[in-house]
Amino acid sequence: MSLLIKGVTTHAALTDVSTPHELADLVAAVCSETEADTKVSAEATARAADVDAEEAARIADVDAVEAKLDDASHTEPARELGTTYQNTSGKIRLVTITCNSITDSPSMEAYCDANSTPTTRIARNKFDDATSIYYLTFSFVVPPDYYYKVDSDTGLTLYEWHEWDLH
């Protein structure tokens, strides 16, 4: 038969009883096996409920994000390097740009802030090797009503420009 003793976590606590008062406290703390099983079962059920609630909350969060991504609208607008654009969609915009070049040291930089001539650099690509064609790609997020542009040095050709407005 197993016993659950309230407040006793080590064998030493069971054997270190030197007064009648300590012995009486120890006897009062003893539960029957049925009581112990009931308490352990209740604690396990409570822990499982907590875990289930946390897992359900995580699943709901992931589902909400997936639903927003499923509703994202994708475009390939006609854009030009060096031109400033404004996100007037009312939604967060994800921009992905790819350029290619055969110049010696291609580079490009993206700027984004609340000014109509953005100066906060948020992305930059640069390579120093003249042996092949380079594809420079980066993505950035544009908050609603912010302006954005991508500048480049000479020799870069815009290859792709994608935008996703996230709902």
Task: Provide the residue-wise pLDDT of the chain in tens; the chain has 167 residues.
Answer: 444 555 555 555 555 556 565 655 655 566 666 676 777 777 777 777 777 777 777 777 667 766 666 667 778 888 888 899 999 988 888 888 887 777 667 777 888 889 999 988 877 777 756 556 666 777 888 888 889 888 876 667 787 788 888 86
pLDDT of residue 22: 63
| Same domain (yes/no): 143, 86 | yes
The answer to whether 124 and 77 are in contact (CB under 8 A) is no
Instruction: Return the structure tokens found at 74.
Output: 């994708």
pLDDT of residue 122: 79
Domain final position from 39, 70, 101: 70
Q: Is 155 left (phi over 0), alpha (psi -120 to 50) or beta?
A: left
C-alpha 99/C-alpha 144 separation (Å) is 25
Model-level pTM?
0.48
pLDDT of residue 33: 65
pLDDT of residue 49: 74
| Same domain (yes/no): 31, 77 | no
**Token pair 């090797």 is at which residue?**
129
| Same domain (yes/no): 27, 66 | yes
CATH number where 108 lies: 2.60.120.40
Contacts of 25 by beta carbon, 8 Å cutoff, 6+ apart:
none
C-alpha 70/C-alpha 144 separation (Å) is 19
Q: 98 is in which domain, residue-wise?
A: 73-166
pLDDT of residue 54: 76
pLDDT of residue 116: 94
Instruction: Return the structure tokens found at 6.
Output: 């309230």
| Same domain (yes/no): 120, 65 | no
Let me know the angle formed at the C-alpha of 95 by 139 and 167, rounded to the nearest 5 degrees: 120
**Buried b / exposed e along 145-155 (16+ C-beta atoms within 10 A):** ebbbbbbbeee
| Same domain (yes/no): 85, 114 | yes
| Same domain (yes/no): 106, 130 | yes
